[in-house]
Amino acid sequence: MTRFFPLLIAAWATFGLMAVSAQAADVAANSRPNILLIVADDMGYTDWGGFGGEIHTPNLDKLAAQGQKFSQFYTAPTCSPTRAMLLTGIDHHQVGMGSMLELLRPNQIGVPGYEGHLTHQAVTLPELLQDSGYRTMMAGKWHLGLDPAQDPTQFGFDQSYVMLLGAASHFSDEAPYAPNYPPIYRHNGKQVHTPENFYSSNFYADQIDTWISKTPTDQPVFAYLAFTAPHDPLHVPD
């Protein structure tokens, strides 16, 4: 059975680290452990039981209890800058994401550090792992660039199915979250439309599961599962 070193990251005021769960013995026994990085979008710091929230979250609480909670971890206050920090390990200004593209002010346009997309000024985590023989994959919210040259496949991901913008309908209607910002989806760099039975959380998880199942068991895997939920609009399947 494929074993994974799970990382759970949840976002508050768009993003922030909440819990890491690891089986230390498994990691020590395997110098290249399989890694599953899970991101929950726009989830409040105290929206789950692990940090005293009132919402019943037994699975998240179990991960936190078995792993490590980072109570002094800091990050940027919005989506794109923090995702840039997560994937590069450095300050978001150093890789072009001083601000979200949608929030760039006139005096920021053209200023170094405010390119509005992830740049190649730093090596990304998937690029490092790719160089170490990992099979890398991503499904979910990208929000680090719109042009084909800014696609996840250009930053170390072998496989990707992503929504490029910050939010949208969680269903197949592809309704925009905000006027003039229709969602854009790409599968391995090619623009696509969501299937008829699309529900964001289920679909992205299924994509990762399918890719993992097709990867030889002797090849390590890095899977980045970036849910768009629970970011509004608050949609749940029937």
Supply the pLDDT for residue 52.
87
Task: With a cut of 80, say whether residue 152 has pLDDT above it.
Answer: yes
CA 119/CA 84 separation, integer angstroms:
9
Q: Is 117 part of the annotated catalytic residue set? A: no
Q: Is 187 part of the annotated catalytic residue set? A: no
Q: Of 79, 92, 93, 170, which is the active-site residue?
A: 79
Of 146, 86, 156, nearest to 120 by C-alpha is: 156
Q: Of 92, 93, 143, 231, which is the active-site residue?
A: 143
The CATH number of residue 143's host domain is 3.40.720.10
Within-domain flag for 105: no
Q: Name the percent of the chain lying above pLDDT 70.
A: 87
Within-domain flag for 119: no
Side by side, the strands of the sheet bearing 68-69 are 68-69, 16-20, 4-10, 34-40, 221-226, 135-141, 159-163, 185-187, 190-192
Within-domain flag for 232: no
Supply the pLDDT for residue 105.
95
Look over the chain and give the mean of its residue pLDDT values, rounded to a whole number: 88
Given a contact cutoff of 8 angstroms between Cβ atoms, the answer to whether 21 and 50 are in contact is no
Within-domain flag for 108: no
Six-digit token pair at 200? 């964001």
Within-domain flag for 78: yes
Supply the pLDDT for residue 179.
84
Within-domain flag for 111: no
Supply the pLDDT for residue 163.
98
Within-domain flag for 182: yes
Q: Name the percent of the chain lying above pLDDT 90.
A: 69
Q: For the whole model, what pTM was predicted?
A: 0.87
Rg (CA), the chain: 17
Residue with tokens 């789950």: 48
CA 109/CA 104 separation, integer angstroms:
7
- Preceding amide of 233 cis, omega within 30: yes
- In tens, the pLDDT along 28-74 reads 446 899 999 999 998 877 888 888 888 899 998 998 888 888 887 77
Strand bridging mode 135-141 / 221-226? parallel
Within-domain flag for 56: yes
pLDDT band at 25 (very low <50, low <70, confident <90, very high): very low
Six-digit token pair at 46? 């105290």
The tally of domains found in the chain comes to: 1
**Eight-class DSSP state of 171:** B
**Structural domain boundaries enclosing 49:** 4-90+125-226
Three-state DSSP state, 165: coil
